[in-house]
Amino acid sequence: MSINRRNLIGATVVLGAAAPVMQGLAAIRAQAATTVGTSIEDSTALAERYFKSKGYAAEAPKPLITGADYNGGLTYDEDGFGNGSTRSLYVIQPCARVEDAEVQRKPGTLPFFTMFALYPAEVVTAQRRTSDLLEFLTSVAGLDPKRLRVTTTELAKPLFADFERYGISGEQIRLRPVAEAQADGAGSGWFEPEGHPNAPAFASYSVEFVMEDGNEIEIAESAVEFAPPHNGVVAVGLERLAMARNDKLMSWDDAAKSFRQAAEAEAQHSGKPLPGGYFNILGLPNPG
């Protein structure tokens, strides 16, 4: 089911300044309907229905173009919501990572992607966050738990019983040394990207899915503990989830045109110049 005109117009009215980038994402979703099968729009609708039933309320996303130096002036991740909120919130956040251009031939890597991010209220325990995530991935989205893997450190051991309860056995959990994960900082045990403007730093675990051809793709990442300003954030990659549900990968080229159109439309809409990351991701000469 690809996004239709009525849904797209509704989304642009709600999201305001983010409308151009969401139109670009709609183009990716339409492509995915033919490239992947079950569409990203369908996975998004599943996530919204499920997490609304768990008490989460929608928050508007940030623009793709940040105006900052970090990550080539593009929104890197879903960080920056939920601080001080007494409610559980979710956001559907468009992102792009300049560093991914260096590994663009890695299966499942896209220049432009969407994070379904959750910011639980403090009363939502780590066990509850983990149970909600795994129930969504297995019972709602229909992923086979035998094909899931978890990558983390010993800091997540209090959650191992929850992993087991949803069919992820000890043999499916990969432990990294804490120091190694902290030095890396990219997630899968510890999230602390160097130079990030919000300076996130927290223990985490990632959830991967093993495709039929043996390739693994990361589909989700979660903080282990609740700690403001990040509020125990949980994030699901919607494009990756669609790939896993269909056992079919999308490629960098599937989304490059949509990224270009969305970034250009947002720059025109906002009056901001195209950032350096736009040129880096597309492999174009940077006039700046």
User: Selecting from 3.30.70, 3.30.930, 1.10.3470, 2.60.40, what CATH number does the domain 5-150+217-282 have?
Assistant: 3.30.930
Q: Print pLDDT tens along the chain (288 aa).
A: 233 322 322 333 334 445 555 555 555 445 444 444 558 899 999 999 999 999 999 999 999 999 899 999 999 988 777 666 688 999 999 999 999 999 999 989 999 999 999 999 989 999 999 999 999 999 999 999 999 999 999 999 999 999 999 999 999 999 999 999 999 988 899 999 898 888 888 999 999 999 999 999 999 999 999 887 777 899 999 999 999 999 999 999 989 998 999 999 999 999 999 999 999 999 999 886
Strands 113-119 and 148-152 come out as: unpaired
- What is the DSSP-derived secondary structure letter of residue 52? H
Helix (H, G, I), strand (E, B) or coil at 209: strand
The residue ranges of every structural domain in the chain are 5-150+217-282
Cα separation, 286 vs 32, in Å, equals 30
Cα separation, 25 vs 42, in Å, equals 13
- CA nearest to 30, candidates 279, 250, 219: 250
pTM for the predicted model, two decimal places: 0.86
List, in order, residues 6 or more apart from 251 with CB less than 8 Å away. 107, 110
Backbone phi and psi for residue 247, each to the nearest 5 degrees, phi listed first? 55, 40
